[in-house]
Structure 1
Amino acid sequence: MKIGLNKFNYKQNKESKMKNDIRMWLYLSSFIDLFGASCIVPILGAHLRTLGFSHSLIGAISSAYAGTQLLSGPIVGSWSDSYGRKTVLYFTLFVCALSYCLLGVATSIMMVLFIRVILGLMKHTQTICKTLVADVIPLDKQPEIHGTLNAVAACGFMFGPVIGGHISEFDNGFLLICFMTGSLFLLNSVIVFFAFPDSILENKSDKIQNSPSLTSSIFFVIHDLLDVNWSSFWDIFLLKFIAGISISVFFSNYYVFIEDTFNISPKYIGYTISFQGLVSAASGMQIELFNKLYPKYLSNSLDFSKLNHLFIILSLSFISMYLSFNIYVFVLCLLPFSVSNSFIRTISTELLLKRSSTQHRGSLMGTSNSISSLARMLAPLLTGLIQDFSTSSSIMILGFILSLSGSFISAALKISYKRKEKAT
């Protein structure tokens, strides 16, 4: 009896240690991913301008990236359901590593467009990592892990733009940055391949064993996507879209708004971006503290109540930034903006994973990522149309209207679910 109990305790301790190890590797992988990408993204537009690309063409390339992410999100997610998170993760990271290296030497429109499309198809690291959390972490611990994961990613976004900006001042700076980012993604791929244990992270389903070809995998992907009850998740996807387009509108016009309104140099603009990353990282670590402000029982109405309050804070942040009379007041307004943005992303992800079944988590997370990609694709079009007829500061009004609509919708959903819960 004692021997059996000791074996059970040994097995439990081994699984607990393995899960703790997985957390550390997930944090490292997320940090490398965001750090590497954020070294390039802030200076990509300026680099393309030196190649003679027009603003509209640069916008079209950005939309192509977001558009391919929109289409590939559910496919890559469902592929990870069928073939295992680890396999898909290290393969996509390896392809991204090659693509970033090629971006450094690309000079033609078609070559740059092709590389950005490949990156849009493959770069789903954050989505797969979040899905892994739901696979291996108990439900009551997931909010803490998601918050830490967002915080670690925000740290990468905080340091990346500063380092990328400094390297870009060297001769062939953009080439150096691309090779550095490619090397980081290659390192990330190696970490996933060797450090992530197969025994937990691989999906050992019959679908994997009986899927010998790429053609077969496509059929399994389509089957998985059709098998999900998408109508059960429309409310979460709607709020994620509203939050995503509000934030994307802000960032797509960020440089122009800061320069036009406060007349500061790009170097200091980079510091404000890093400040937002710092605030997002700190707030991501405090998600449990935020949850303690609400009752401990689990319900849909409570989740939408949290989102309702966060959307109200987000909308007030937009109008405050619009009314800011100097850069110091503006930076102060970035505090509630970054905190609410971080919490909205974390809580909406928790709510989605809470409703999902194990076999469809990858598909749902991929679709969630596609919703964000759709928002990032539409935001430049909206801001462009508004700027043709108004000033750059009007974008803040648009962000305010969008986030305010999110507060109204989340309030209506909260009331609706509360009625259903009382009825049952």
Structure 2
Amino acid sequence: MLAASTNVFLFTLARVPAGIFKHTLSISRALLADLVTEEERPVVLGQFNTASSMGFILGPVVGGYLAELDGGFYLTAFVCSSVFLLNAGLVWLFPWSEVKLSGPEDDLPRGRNQALWGKTDSATQRAASAQGTPVSKGPARLPWAEVLATLRGLRSLVLSALWVVFVVRLLMAVAVMLNYSNFVLALEERFGMGPRAAGYLTSCSSALGVLAGFALGPLLRLYGHQSYRLLLHSSVLTSTLLLLFASARGLDVAVACSVLLSFSTAIGRTCITDLQLTMGGVRAGGSLLGMGQSVTALGRVLAPILSGVAQEVSPCGPPGLGAALGFVAVVIMSRNRPHSGGQEGDELKSE
């Protein structure tokens, strides 16, 4: 639709379905959460983020080359559409019958999650049979009823346990995006670095972010597979690097901070996704990942506004404000340590 657009109205209209259905990365993360065990999940998500980061490195290069050709935008849109069709074909051909998805009885913490999400149909039938009540084999609930039940469960879950994770995700997202929103302009104003050199620095940082996916496994083993502690320490590192970048007087310090930021943010992004899935349970995985994406999108809305105001005050303003928000997130995590179910988590481990 984007490639075939001939006016602004069609171009705007084509953005609607693209914006709704393009989130295949979030769906893939939810699927991976069903396919792997809880202990393997952070490592697998880190490897998945590594693969997607490689795509983010190659995509702008290929898109920029195609855009310079005659009719480059339309050609780029058709190529992107072809890639999505290729993905759909791969999913269709994948031998799903040979894949064992982990069910709620294997991965959901008991007690709290049952109260939030309700009993399954089989559990309801067993309870009714035990009480001598005849079970009617009526049709399943309508899709809109399932959606409402899911939203009610998510609301209870977020208010009871996950608010810390989402607040931290919002603060860290705004903190990092404050630095990157005017990154090239800040480098030019503070150090006289040109756009080409800034582009090379961005590519180098992205490459280090790819390496972070491979380093996640050894780091988790070092931390005893405690994602929360690793997230806390990566957030401290991110905030410290932002503060050092804001106060840097030399180009070498600024470059070192920018490169290391990609590593710490990649680690933190994977850990906070794993925390969402651990605390919410597999059954809520897709919905929680969607809420996490919405929180990040809110950060993308707030960051340019705050960055513009801070940039007017000083070229060091955006990373300095980001460092302050990052340390606020660290304080919140230190004082409100989230639990993945307490007694329920112990029961899950014993099973």
State the alpha-carbon separation in 1 of the partners of residues 234 and 101 from structure 2: 36
Partner of 1:223: 149
Partner of 1:382: 306
Displacement of 1:282: 0.3
Structure 2 CA distance for partners of 1:336 and 1:130, relative to 1, 3 Å: same
State the alpha-carbon separation in 1 of the partners of residues 270 and 11 from structure 2: 33
**Which whole-Å deviations, capped at 9, do the CAs of 1:11-54 have from their partners, x for residues lacking one?**
xxxxxxxxxxxxxxxxxxxxxxxxxxxxxxxxxxxxxxxxxxxx
State the alpha-carbon separation in 1 of the partners of residues 66 and 80 from structure 2: 12
**Is residue 242 of structure 1 aligned with residue 168 of structure 2?**
no
Matched letter for residue 43 of structure 2 = E
Partner of 1:279: 208
Q: How do 1:9-408 residues align onto structure 2 when only pairs under 5 Å count? A: 98-99=1-2, 101-102=3-4, 105=5, 107-108=7-8, 110-195=9-94, 197=96, 200=99, 216-228=142-154, 229-231=157-159, 232-294=161-223, 296=224, 302-325=226-249, 327-387=251-311, 389-408=312-331
Structure 2 CA distance for partners of 1:219 and 1:188, relative to 1, 3 Å: same
State the alpha-carbon separation in 2 of the partners of residues 266 and 177 from structure 1: 24
SS at structure 2 position matched to 1:292: helix
State the alpha-carbon separation in 1 of the partners of residues 251 and 74 from structure 2: 33
Q: Which has the larger radius of gyration?
A: 2
TM-score by length of 1: 0.65
Matched letter for residue 290 of structure 1 = L
For structure 2, the 5+ residue unaligned runs are: 104-119, 122-137, 347-351
State the alpha-carbon separation in 1 of the partners of residues 260 and 189 from structure 2: 23
Structure 2 CA distance for partners of 1:152 and 1:224, relative to 1, 3 Å: same
State the alpha-carbon separation in 2 of the partners of residues 324 and 269 from structure 1: 16
Preserved CA contact (<8 Å) 2:227 2:274? no
Displacement of 1:195: 2.4
SS at structure 1 position matched to 2:69: coil
**Which whole-Å deviations, capped at 9, do the CAs of 1:156-212 have from their partners, x for residues lacking one?**
112222333333333333333222222222222222222262564889998xx9679
Preserved CA contact (<8 Å) 2:53 2:210? yes
Partner of 1:52: none
Displacement of 1:280: 0.8
Matched letter for residue 168 of structure 1 = A
State the alpha-carbon separation in 1 of the partners of residues 98 and 152 from structure 2: 28
Preserved CA contact (<8 Å) 2:220 2:227? no
Which deviates further from its counterpart, 177-186 or 144-153? Answer: 177-186
Partner of 1:71: none
Matched letter for residue 188 of structure 1 = N
Which deviates further from its counterpart, 305-314 or 389-398? Answer: 389-398
For structure 1, the 5+ residue unaligned runs are: 1-97
Displacement of 1:325: 4.0
Displacement of 1:356: 2.3
State the alpha-carbon separation in 1 of the partners of residues 251 and 335 from structure 2: 36
State the alpha-carbon separation in 2 of the partners of residues 195 and 107 from structure 1: 39
Displacement of 1:145: 0.5
State the alpha-carbon separation in 1 of the partners of residues 59 and 235 from structure 2: 28
Query: RMSD over aligned Cα, in angstroms?
Result: 3.0
Partner of 1:89: none
Displacement of 1:310: 1.1
Displacement of 1:327: 4.5
**Which whole-Å deviations, capped at 9, do the CAs of 1:367-396 have from their partners, x for residues lacking one?**
111111111122122223334x42443111
Q: Select the structure that is richer in helix.
A: 1
Displacement of 1:144: 1.4
**Which whole-Å deviations, capped at 9, do the CAs of 1:322-359 have from their partners, x for residues lacking one?**
23445544332123211110111111111111122332
